[in-house]
Amino acid sequence: AASKPWAGRFAEPTDAFVEGFTASVGFDQRLYREDIAGSTAHARMLARQGILSADECASIVAGLERIAERIEAGDFSWSVPLEDVHMNIEAALTADIGEAGKRLHTGRSRNDQVATDIRLWLRGEIDAIQVALQKLREALLGLAEREAATILPGFTHLQVAQPVTFGHHMMAWHAMLERDTGRFIDCRRRLNQMPLGAAALAGTSYSIDRDYTAELLGFDAPCENSLDAVSDRDFAIEFVSAASILMMHLSRFAEELILWSSAQFDFIELADSFCTGSSIMPQKKNPDVPELIRGKTGRIFGHLMALLTLMKGQPLAYNKDNQEDKEPLFDTADTLRGSLKVFAEMMARLRCKPERMRAAATQGFATATDLADYLVHKGIAFRDAHEVVGRAVAYAIQQHRDLAELTLDELRRFSPAIGPDVFEVLRLDGSVAARDHIGGTAPSQVLAAVARARARRDCS
């Protein structure tokens, strides 16, 4: 077995099972790029401060580059006795370049090293997530524009409430996703501080230049406090929180798509390539993609709980518990990126069934509120108007007819204020067009909302 960098004070070798139990290289090798970037910047800083010679630095930087190439070519063997990505790379470097490799860890600890690696990695993931989230938002804007005037029933309590436009409905989801974008921007800003220099926990006695290393690595600043820098993972919790909220939105949205593609609603058609069939029932076309997104939300919520619980009992500063931060974090980013990608592609190919949506909106007395508002315009108090319309609805239910299907004489039995112009307000198109203010469902407002969202995007 490779000899361990910390073997000096030990009298017996690590128990064979413990070796595997404590190792993280099986999963943290994924951080190799960030680990090499961090080491390269650290070596440059040490050389600039005169702590390493220029030759040593050049040899370290070139050696690290060769290791990256070997890893990428699949030509690097990871050693479990060397525990983690950090010691594997450092040992390979020393095997390659000799003496200078042993000087790389000057003024550094794996504690500030790993905290730096994760932050660098997460920063890159957030940037990729923002691109994927933007694509989904674009798909929704396109759909909202195309279906700005398409009418469907709006629901409260999953009961028909009032007609709304499909574009307006899509813009509701867009508003939620826009706030999600903001949450990731905030998270990235707070995490972009550099732990290096904190060393194990107390800082280091070498004359380091943390600002320089931070600049090389694209961090906004070094972390203020060395104990905090190596021990907190609140940035990871914040990321998984933002991911959980986003997945909660995607899950709700997925739930609607599943309902809407059922025979009972039949409002939309998902592209065949985003659905699967049944091995027994030949007629089936199942909305697997939205169902899986709804299902995967559970695992992200689980990761959030895992990370919160991981931190809650840890005294300062670094504890090995923190090694458990990686798998939940990796899986959160992977799951989120996959979910966003497939959601965006699925939405771009969504087909609406406007006639089915309209038919559903004509059931359930979706324009009853419009009739009450009509009576208010005729001088009746809203509470009285509400009562009048309630009685008219009860009559229509008994008749198995919609309000718009009653004759003027029938309607006038409930209020003499009703005139022949009433049928205009009972129409679905009149109802949505009347909600003509910022945030309202009128088609013109949907188009204005799309334009405003695009303008915000272009100046952000």
Residues 71-130 binding ligand ARG (CB under 6 A) are 84, 110-111, 114
If you search the block for the tokens 């690290």, which residue do you land on?
64
199-231 burial, b if ≥16 CB within 10 A, otherwise e?
bebebbebebebeebbbbbebeebbeebebbbb
CB of 11 to ligand ARG, least distance (A): 19
Q: Minimum distance between the CB of residue 318 and ligand ARG, rounded to whole angstroms? A: 6
Query: Which is closer to ligand ARG, CB of 110 or CB of 119?
Result: 110
Q: Which is nearer to ligand ARG, 260 or 318 (CB)?
A: 318
Which residue, 92, 97, 69, is CA-closest to 82? Answer: 92
In angstroms, give the least distance from the CB of 310 to ligand ARG. 11
Q: How far is CA 175 from CA 142, 203, 313, 316, in A?
A: 14, 44, 37, 40
Q: Which of residues 181-220 bind ligand ARG (CB under 6 A)?
A: none
71 versus 133: smaller Cβ distance to ligand ARG: 71
Binding ligand ARG by CB under 6 A: which of 9, 157, 312, 320? 320
Distance between CA 147 and CA 143 in Å, rounded? 6
Applying CB under 6 A, which of residues 244, 251, 323, 441 lies at the interface with ligand ARG? 323
- In the complex with ligand ARG, the residue whose CB is nearer, 193 or 323, is 323
Say if CB 317 and CB 231 are below 8 A apart: yes
Q: Are the beta carbons of 291 and 284 closer than 8 angstroms?
A: no
What lies within 8 Å, CB to CB, of 3 at 6+ separation is none
Tell me, yes or no, if 157 is annotated catalytic. yes
Which of residues 56 and 83 has its CB atom nearest to ligand ARG in the complex?
A: 83
Work out how close the CB of 233 gets to ligand ARG at its nearest, in angstroms, rounded to a whole number: 10
Q: Which region among 275-283, 303-311, 320-328, 421-429 touches ligand ARG (by CB under 6 A)? A: 320-328
Least separation in angstroms between CB 46 and ligand ARG: 20
How many CB atoms within 10 Å of residue 139? 20
Does the active-site annotation cover 278? yes
CB of 181 to ligand ARG, least distance (A): 30
Are 116 and 323 in contact by the 8 Å Cβ rule? The answer is: no
- Write down the catalytic residue from 207, 273, 278, 460: 278
| Those residues with Cβ within 8 angstroms of residue 188's Cβ, 6 or more apart along the chain or in another chain | 123, 126, 127
- Give the shortest CB-451-to-ligand ARG separation in angstroms: 48
State how far the Cα of 13 lies from the Cα of 10, in Å rounded to an integer: 7
Stretch that binds ligand ARG, among 251-259, 280-288, 314-322, 395-403 (CB under 6 A): 314-322
Task: Specify the residue, 24 or 445, whose C-beta has the smaller distance to ligand ARG.
Answer: 24
Q: Nearer to ligand ARG by C-beta: 219 or 318?
A: 318
3-state secondary structure of 152: strand
Residues 233-292 that bind ligand ARG (CB under 6 A): none
Q: Is the peptide bond before 236 cis (omega within 30 degrees of 0)?
A: no
Cβ neighbours of residue 381 closer than 8 Å, sequence gap 6 or more: none
According to DSSP, the residues that pair with 222 across neighbouring strands are 194
Residue 236 Cβ, how far from ligand ARG at the closest point, in Å?
12
Q: Which of 168, 220, 213 is nearest to 190 (CA)?
A: 220
Of 244, 322, 362, 441, the one binding ligand ARG by CB under 6 A: 322
Give the whole-angstrom CA distance, residue 101 versus residue 328: 32
Asked if 35 is part of the footprint of ligand ARG (rule: CB under 6 A), the reply reads: no
Query: How many residues line the site for ligand ARG (CB under 6 A)?
Result: 10
Structure tokens belonging to residue 190: 């707070």
Closer Cβ to ligand ARG, 230 or 350, answer by number: 230
Q: Can you point out the beta strands (E) in 325-425? A: 351-352
The active-site residue out of 157, 279, 400, 437 is: 157
- Binding region for ligand ARG (CB under 6 A): 24, 28, 84, 110-111, 114, 318, 320, 322-323
Residues with catalytic function? 157, 278
